[in-house]
Structure 1
């Protein structure tokens, strides 16, 4: 079955390897008809991506991915159909981006302290947009310390490694409310990577109360069993099942752009939900103080 929908992709505006325009070119080559750009904590690539999508007759969905933390788990929340130019929303995600930049700087410092000599200036050059760990990994590859991005994560910058630095600890419920403050549709990202479906079930009531509208059920290399379990959970909590590849570029995630089937019904349901919010005054959001570690 040929897939035409990918609702989870990244560009150079955050930690993807392709510019928004090149990403849309790749989407067209893959036969996609619908694409959402969901960069981490930034909307800086959306205008370019929307223009590139129009030129290629691809239906474009403006999105974002907010990174959050619960205990030792890293939880991501996607947002779709954002009114992303709202000043209050932009001010908040700038705070989150600045925190990512400080995290990247500290990683480089720790690497240098351990005799791994890469420069912050080079990491910034590789990033172009918001800095992420893949850019530090690219610098490590370029400097010859590792052979691949995956090896950089395993040896130096993954959890428990010498240069790992925890992130700004925004909660998933906060991320849901932040996305809702821009009239966006919050969706839990790649839930099987969480501690388990039982743990997810414990979190869902609070997240639904905060405004969660979807559950990423068709994702990357999820098994049929994973997909069916998530679809059942989405139905139980009246959530829209969404999906995508989490495409960052070759060699970062195993699933190529557009290679995970996502039914167009997911897009239709998101569009219907977005239409109900359009033009409404969204709830205000106040960013909590970051957790000091």
Structure 2
């Protein structure tokens, strides 16, 4: 069965390798008809992506991905059909991006302290926008310290490594409420992993109460067993089962763009909910204070 939908992709507006235009061209080349651009903490690539999508006959869904913190790790929350131009929403995103920038700079400082010489200026050049860990990884590759982006994460900048730096901390509920403040639709990204299904069942009622509407069940490397478990949970909690590849570019995630089947029904259900919210006044959002850095 041909896959026409990918609801989880990244561009150079955050930590993807390809520009929004190049990403849309690749989506066209693999036969996608619907694509969501879900950059981390940023909607800065959406206008460019929209122009490319229109030229290529692809339906673009404006989206975002927010990283959040829980005990022992992190949860990611996707947002779809955002009214992303809202000034209050953009003001919060700028705070998060500025914190991400400081994080990247601190990682470079820690690498230099370890005798691993990469420059912050080069990381910024590689990013061409919001800085993410893949840009630090690419600088490490250029300098000859690692042979791949994956090795950079495993050896230097992944959690527990010498140059890992924690992020600005949001809870999953914070992320859901932030997405709702732009009349967006919040979906938990790649739910299997950190929490486990039992923990996930504990969290779902609270996340639904905050306004979450979906689970990413059709995700990149998930097995058929994983998928069925999440589809069962989605049905139990009346959540929309979405999906995508989490495509950043070669060498970052194993699934190629459009390489995971996602039913068109997921898009139709999201569009129906988005139409109900369109034009309504969204709830306000207040960003919690950042934790002190050590």
Return the TM-score normalized by structure 2: 0.99
Distance apart, 1:2 and its partner CA? 1.1
User: Which residue in 1 is equivalent to 2:277?
Assistant: 277
Q: In the aligned structure 1, how far is the partner of 2:193 from the partner of 2:149?
A: 20
1:200 maps to what in 2? Answer: 200
Alignment deviations for residues 49-90 of structure 1 (CA, whole Å, 9 cap, x no partner): 011000000011000001111022111000000000000000
**What corresponds to 1:78 in structure 2?**
78
What's the counterpart of residue 49 of structure 2?
A: 49
* Conservation of the 8 A alpha-carbon contact between 1:38 and 1:78: yes
Output the CA distance in 1 between the equivalents of 2:134 and 2:94. Answer: 20
CA–CA separation in structure 2 for the residues paired with 1:108 and 1:174: 29
* CA distance, structure 1, for counterparts of residue 70 and residue 205 of structure 2: 15
**1:155-166 residue pairs with structure 2 within 5 A?**
155-166=155-166
Counterpart of 1:147?
A: 147
Q: Secondary structure at the match of 2:215?
A: strand
* CA–CA distance in structure 2, aligned partners of residues 134 and 57 of structure 1: 30
2:59 equivalent in structure 1: 59
Give the match for residue 102 of structure 1: 102
Q: 1:171 and 1:195 mapped to 2: Cα distance?
A: 14
What is the TM-score of this pair, normalised by structure 1? 0.99
* Residue 188 of structure 1: aligned partner: 188
For residues 230-273 of structure 1, the C-alpha deviation after alignment (integer angstroms, 9 at most, x for no partner) is: 00101111110000000000111000000000000000000000
Show CA shifts across 1:104-157 (max 9, x none): 010000000000000001001101111110000000000000000000000000
> Quick check: 1:69–1:75 contact (8 Å CA) kept in 2?
yes
Q: Aligned equivalents of 1:195 and 1:211: distance in 2?
A: 20
Deviations 1:26-65 (Å, cap 9, x if unpaired)? 0000100000000000000000001100000001100000
Which residue in 1 is equivalent to 2:120?
120
Any idea what SS the aligned residue of 1:213 has?
strand
CA contact (8 A) 1:64 1:80 kept: yes
Q: CA deviation at 1:291?
A: 1.8
- Structure 2, unmatched stretches of 5+, are none
Q: Which residue of 2 aligns with 1:236?
A: 236
Q: Which residue of 1 aligns with 2:9?
A: 9
Runs of 4+ in 1 over 6 A off after TM superposition: none
Aligned partners of 1:203 and 1:103: how far apart in 2? 28
Is residue 224 from structure 1 mapped to residue 224 from structure 2 by the alignment? yes
C-alpha distance in 1 between matches for 2:251 and 2:109: 26
Matches of 2:245 and 2:207 in 1, distance apart? 23
Offset at 1:192? Answer: 0.8
Give the root-mean-square deviation of aligned CA atoms. 0.6
Contact 1:194 1:200 in 2 (8 A): no
Q: Give SS of 1:141's match.
A: helix
Residue-pair matches, total = 293
**After the TM superposition, which of the residue ranges 64-73 and 141-150 deviates more from structure 2?**
64-73
Contact 1:176 1:207 in 2 (8 A): yes
> How far apart are the structure 1 equivalents of 2:128 and 2:66?
19
Q: Give unmatched runs, 5+ long, in structure 1.
A: none
Greater displacement, 187-196 / 135-144: 187-196
Alignment deviations for residues 180-205 of structure 1 (CA, whole Å, 9 cap, x no partner): 00000000000012220111111111
Matched residues in 1 for 2:184 and 2:119: separation? 37
